[in-house]
Each structure stands twice: as C-alpha cells, then as structure tokens.
Amino acid sequence: MIAHFQDPADLRELLTTLLRFVRKIRRAASRMEELCDETELYLDERVKDLDRSSHGGPVSPPPDDPPPPGLSLTGEEKERLLAEAEKGFSRMEFNRLGNGDALVSIEGSSVFVVPPKLADLLEILRTGVPDPEDRLLPWKSYKEVVGELERMRPSRKRTGRKALRQLIHRLRRTFRRHGVNRYFIGTREGAVRLAWRPADESVTGSDRL
C-alpha cells in the first residue's frame, strides 16, 4: 500500500495518523490492564478476608479503606490523573532510614513514610537514565524489577509476578493516601515505571538517614 503513494507528504500524514492510532490503543490497553490488576487484587483481598473471618481471624484492611482506584473514580477524574502522570513530576525527596523505611515527598507533598518492602520497590523505580523523548525515567520489565528486589535482599522469599503486582498496588495506595497521584506509578504490559522527570541526567542509589 505504501508503494502507491507518490507524494511523500501524503505518506507522512498517513503514517503519522496510524502512529497516533496505535499509541491511543496502547494507552487504552494499559489503562484496562491497570483496572484489571487493581480489581483483581481488591477482590483477592476480600476473598482472603472472608476466609479469615470464617476461621475467626482478623479482617483487613480497615473499614475506611475504599474500593480500588479504578472503581471509585469518575471517568473525568481518572483521565485528569492519567494526563498528569503522562507529563510526570519533577520534584522528589527520598531518604532511607536505618530500619528500612523511606521518608518520601513528591511534588511538594508532605513527607510520608513508606515501609521497607515498598521502599525497596520505589528505590528501584527511581533509578535509571531518563528517556530522551519524554525525559521520564525508563520503563522496567517485571523480570528486571524482580531481579533487583532479590539482589537487594537475597534472603527474602522469591518475588513472583503476582507478588510484584501486589507491591505495585500497595505503593499506589500509599501514594493516594498521602495525596500523591497514584498513576505516577505507571504500568503497561509486563512493565512498570515511576513517572519522575529528574533534573540530573541519571539517578543512582538513594540517600540514607
């Protein structure tokens, strides 16, 4: 079909339109995957609650815990958050404490505490060389993140794909709880990234208090 175009301008217009269409489909697929992940994890927690309660065990999370983000937001609210996440954020403070926690502030938010397992994940996501096109930190495959988690703490139980998705979900909930856009933790098929646009050309390691 491309060979039938004699005018390069017409061909370029067609290819540009197709490129926009493909990118639109990819964004829609990514958002659908996010919603499926959030809903699956939320329902999984509810099933475990029922199992625990039937055996007289404690039920979690606390009563004020809302439904998963994708189910509680209006379409307009979610579109706004996703658009904000696509642009990314530019300010981040991240300091590890001796007990494994991290003190975090994003885009001027109040400093909040991130527990050790989630802090490990966030430390991995906040490192790397920004993408030259959008200046955001790069996407990391689930396999790559799992490998880095295991290198950080060799004694920890092996982290599978489902366990990693749960960590991502919990980190997003922590962001939301402290007024930070949960979609700054972006996901697409088999990959995750932190939508940070650091001033430095690359970010390595972390500060420790």
Q: At what angle do helices 161-177 and 8-54 cross, to 10 degrees?
A: 90
Quote the pLDDT of residue 77.
Answer: 84
The answer on pLDDT for 171 being more than 80 is yes
Please give the mean pLDDT across all residues of the chain: 81
Does 61 sit behind a cis peptide bond, omega within 30 degrees of 0 on the bond before it? yes
Q: What is the pLDDT of residues 75-100, one digit of tens each?
A: 788 889 889 999 999 999 999 999 99
Q: SS3 letters for 176-205?
A: HHCCCCHHHEEEECCEEEECECCCCCCECC
The mean pLDDT value for 115-129 works out to 94
For the entire predicted model, the pTM comes to 0.67
The CA–CA distances, whole Å, from 191 to 8, 9, 41 equal: 36, 35, 17
The rounded distance, in Å, linking the Cα atoms of 198 and 106 is 12
Residue with tokens 């366990």: 163
DSSP per residue, 123-168: HHHT-BPPPTTT-SPPPEEHHHHHHHHHHH-TTSPPP-HHHHHHHH
- For the domain bounded by 2-208, which CATH number is listed? 1.10.10.10
Q: What is the pLDDT of residues 37-79, one digit of tens each?
A: 667 767 777 777 787 777 766 555 444 455 554 555 667 888 8
The mean pLDDT value for 198-204 works out to 68
Look at residues 17, 33, 80 and name the one whose alpha carbon lies nearest to residue 191.
33
Would residue 137 be called left, alpha or beta, if left means φ above 0 and alpha means ψ between -120 and 50 degrees? beta
The rounded distance, in Å, linking the Cα atoms of 81 and 38 is 16
Residue with tokens 């004699």: 6
Residue with tokens 């979609």: 183
Residue with tokens 């970010």: 203
> For the chain, how many residues are written?
209
Sign, CA torsion 172/97/164/193: positive
What ranges do the domains of the chain cover? Answer: 2-208
The answer on pLDDT for 125 being more than 80 is yes
The answer on pLDDT for 196 being more than 90 is yes
